[in-house]
Copies of this chain bind each other. A is one copy, B any other.
Amino acid sequence: MAEGVRDRMVAGAVRLLAQQGLQATSFSEVLQVTGAPRGSIYHHFPGGKDQLVAAAVDAAGDHALRVLEPLAGASPEKITEAFLGLWRLLLERTDNTAGCAVLAVTVATRSGDLLDRAGEAFRRWRTRLAELLAEGGLPDAEAFAATLVAATEGAVVMARAERSTAPFDAVAAYLLSQVRANATG
C-alpha cells in the first residue's frame, strides 16, 4: 500500500515533467494529480523535490526499456517502429502537449545527480536499441540507435511546438525508410 503511493507519485511526476517541465512540477501538484496524502512527501521523499525528480527520471528510463524488451529477436523495422510508436502514442494521447520527462529535466537543471540519471537513461536506451538492431541484422546499429533516440526526442519537441504530429511523422518516416534500406535480416 505504502509502495503504491510512492509509485503513483513517481508516475505523476513523470507525467507532469513531460507536460510542463521541471520548475512547474511541484509536490503540491503531484499530490493533487495522484491523490496522495501530504505526509507522503516526507515519508517517501525525505530528500525533497530533487529526490522525487530523480526517481521520475529513472522510472521514465525504465519505462522505454520495458517497451523494448518483448522485441528481442524482432526485425530492425519492428524495433524502430516500437520505439517511435511509444512517443507517437504519447503525442496522440496528450494532443501534442507532452514530451519526454528526461529531456525536460536535462534542459532545466544544474544538478549533477539529475544530469547523471538523465544521461544514464539516454545511454541505456541507445545501448539496448543498438543491441536489438544489431541482433536483427542492421549494420552500423550503434550510430543508427543514437540517431533514432536523438531524432525521436527532437521530433517530439517539434510536434509540441507546432501542436501537430506532422513533423514527428516526417522524421519517423525517414528513419523507417533508412532501416528498410539498410536492414539485411
Identify the A interface with B (CB < 8 A). Answer: 20-24, 99, 102-104, 106-110, 115, 118-119, 121-123, 126, 140, 142-144, 146-147, 149-155, 157-158, 160-163, 167, 170-171, 173-175, 177-178
The 6 closest A-B pairs by CB, nearest first: A23-B23, A21-B108, A150-B154, A153-B154, A154-B154, A119-B162
Cβ of A103 and Cβ of B108 under 8 Å apart?
Answer: no
CB neighbours (8 Å) of A22 from chain B are 21, 23, 108
Cβ of A140 and Cβ of B174 under 8 Å apart?
Answer: yes
| Distance A173 CA – B142 CA, assembled complex (angstroms) | 11
- Residue from the list B110, B142, B163, B167 in contact with A126, Cβ < 8 A: B167
Chain B min CB distance to A95 (Å): 12
Chain A interface mostly? helix
Cβ of A119 and Cβ of B161 under 8 Å apart?
Answer: yes
CB neighbours (8 Å) of A119 from chain B are 158, 161-163
CB neighbours (8 Å) of A173 from chain B are 143
Chain B min CB distance to A109 (Å): 8
Cβ of B24 and Cβ of A108 under 8 Å apart?
Answer: yes
- Residue from the list B108, B122, B123, B147 in contact with A108, Cβ < 8 A: B108
Chain B min CB distance to A84 (Å): 12
- Residue in chain B with minimal CB distance to A125: B158
Cβ of A104 and Cβ of B115 under 8 Å apart?
Answer: no
Chain B min CB distance to A52 (Å): 17
Cβ of A150 and Cβ of B158 under 8 Å apart?
Answer: yes
